Amino acid sequence: MPMIKVLVVDDSALMRKLLPRILEGSNIQVVGTAMDGEFALKKIAELRPDVITLDLEMPRMDGMVTLREIVKRHSLPVIVVSAHTQAGAMATFKALNMGAFDFVAKPRDALSEQIGEIATELINKIRAAAGSRRIAPCGELSLLPQPVRKRKIPAQPPARRVVALGTSTGGPYALQHVLSQLPAEFPAAIVVVQHMAEGFTKMFAERLDAESELEVREAQSGDMLLAGRVLICPGNKHMSVRRMPLGPVAVLTTQAPVNGLRPSVDVLFESVAEEFGPSAVAVLMTGMGADGAEGMGKIKACGGMTFAQNEETCAVYGMPRAAIERGYACEVLPLEEIPAALQARFTSASDTASG
């Protein structure tokens, strides 16, 4: 594997020292650092990095302006190193819509050993970015998403059918596209695992809710699965589903990570297979690794329908590819065809009859 050249852009002298240190010995070479956007743009032309890590809060040319210039001039993958604050989360999601590849959450206390907690995540994301297929961003958004007018529909009953959706790197854009294309009266509940740091999923759900006719919320234990409702798994928790006397609910736990991940798509998919069987649909979209593949296999084995996003529209093809190669995907679709496929699944005569 060729050495991956990285430029670290951060106004903190401490972070400019720590990030190169945690990346050493992982087939990654930090070819330079920059304290602000103006220096960064000069060093990009000089050093020709493969990947850039970017702090968004910097003097002179800030991270958002810098990102816009990088996307416009160089089309290089950028990984945002984001603050654990509400403002930091808002800026992060705007950056993803402007074309950032992914983000990692900056430790709350960089002076402690917490900086080591992001090492594996950052290394994996740099490697994924270096080998990624660049997908066009959905267009720059304002700090607040443009709201969709919610149509009033009758209160929905507990769901008899469910769509379980798993994604990782590239997922925010893919989820925004899929959910924004589904109508308020969509006849199934939707449960989502998006690999995302703790503290970011609530705002992510709020943005998706504003951009969709569906009701989208960060899940809490005991939330009912209702037709037309989307539940997003919180960061650092597993989500499963369980049938109860009054209807199916979401269950959150802090059990050990599965394959190093919490949340895990496999945990969600396996519970959906057990509780919903042939009334379940699984969708695996863009993301690195193989999380969700075995869970998708269990949904298929129960008679459920399974969709995987195709390589051409994935930012990172790892998760869908793992399921496809194991024979677990009933259909492989480009991102733009997934919403119509979901609607068709629940309006077909055979599915209506199975209920």
In the prediction, which pLDDT does 353 show?
Answer: 40
Examine the pLDDT at 25 and tell me if it is beyond 80. Answer: no
In the prediction, which pLDDT does 237 show?
Answer: 97
Examine the pLDDT at 148 and tell me if it is beyond 80. Answer: no
CA–CA dist 127, 243 (Å, integer)? 40
Catalytic residue among 209, 223, 291, 351: 291
**How confident is the model over 229-233, as a mean pLDDT?**
98
Examine the pLDDT at 4 and tell me if it is beyond 70. Answer: yes
Mean pLDDT of the chain: 89
CB atoms < 10 A from the CB of 73, how many? 11
CA–CA dist 343, 347 (Å, integer)? 6
- Which pLDDT band, with edges at 50, 70 and 90, does 131 fall under? confident
CA–CA dist 48, 270 (Å, integer)? 44
Proportion of the chain above pLDDT 70, given as a percent: 90
Q: What SS3 string covers the chain?
A: CCCEEEEEECCCHHHHHHHHHHHCCCCEEEEEEECCHHHHHHHHHHHCCCEEEEECCCCCCCHHHHHHHHHHHCCCCEEEEECCCHHHHHHHHHHHHHCCCEEEECCCCCCCHHHHHHHHHHHHHHHHHHCCCCCCCCCCCCCCCCCCCCCCCCCCCECCCEEEEEECCCHHHHHHHHHHCCCCCCCCEEEEEECCCCCCHHHHHHHHHHCCCCEEEECCCCCECECCEEEECCCCCEEEEEEECCEEEEEEECCCCECCECCCHHHHHHHHHHHHHHHEEEEECCCCCCCCHHHHHHHHHCCCEEEEECHHHCCCCHHHHHHHHCCCCCEEECHHHHHHHHHHHHHCHHHHHHC
Examine the pLDDT at 122 and tell me if it is beyond 70. Answer: yes
CA–CA dist 123, 104 (Å, integer)? 10
Sorted by sequence, the CB contacts under 8 Å of residue 209 that are 6+ apart come out as 215, 216, 217, 230
Please give the model's pTM, rounded to 2 decimal places: 0.89
> Which has the minimum average pLDDT: 72-76, 80-84, 159-163?
80-84
Residue 74 is among the residues annotated as catalytic for this protein: no
Examine the pLDDT at 351 and tell me if it is beyond 80. Answer: no
**How confident is the model over 47-67, as a mean pLDDT?**
90
In the prediction, which pLDDT does 270 show?
Answer: 98
- Which pLDDT band, with edges at 50, 70 and 90, does 302 fall under? very high
Q: Is 194 within 8 Å of 261 (Cβ atoms)?
A: no
- Which pLDDT band, with edges at 50, 70 and 90, does 113 fall under? low
Instruction: Calculate the alpha carbon distances from 239 to 18, 251, 349 in Å.
Output: 34, 6, 31
* 144 vs 189, residue with greater confidence: 189
Examine the pLDDT at 228 and tell me if it is beyond 60. Answer: yes
In the prediction, which pLDDT does 155 show?
Answer: 75
Per-residue b or e along 202-241, where b marks 16 or more CB atoms closer than 10 Å to that residue's CB: bbbbbbbbebbbbbbbbbeeebbbbbbbbbbbbbebbbbb
Catalytic residue among 168, 240, 264, 271: 168
Residue 195 is among the residues annotated as catalytic for this protein: yes
Catalytic residue among 10, 36, 82, 195: 195
Domains and CATH numbers, the chain: 4-130 (3.40.50.2300), 162-354 (3.40.50.180)
Tokens 């529909």, residue located: 153
In the prediction, which pLDDT does 142 show?
Answer: 36
The backbone region for 184, taken as left when phi is positive above 0, alpha when psi lies in -120 to 50, beta otherwise, is: alpha
Q: Is 107 within 8 Å of 119 (Cβ atoms)?
A: no
Residue 168 is among the residues annotated as catalytic for this protein: yes
**How confident is the model over 29-49, as a mean pLDDT?**
94
In the prediction, which pLDDT does 218 show?
Answer: 98
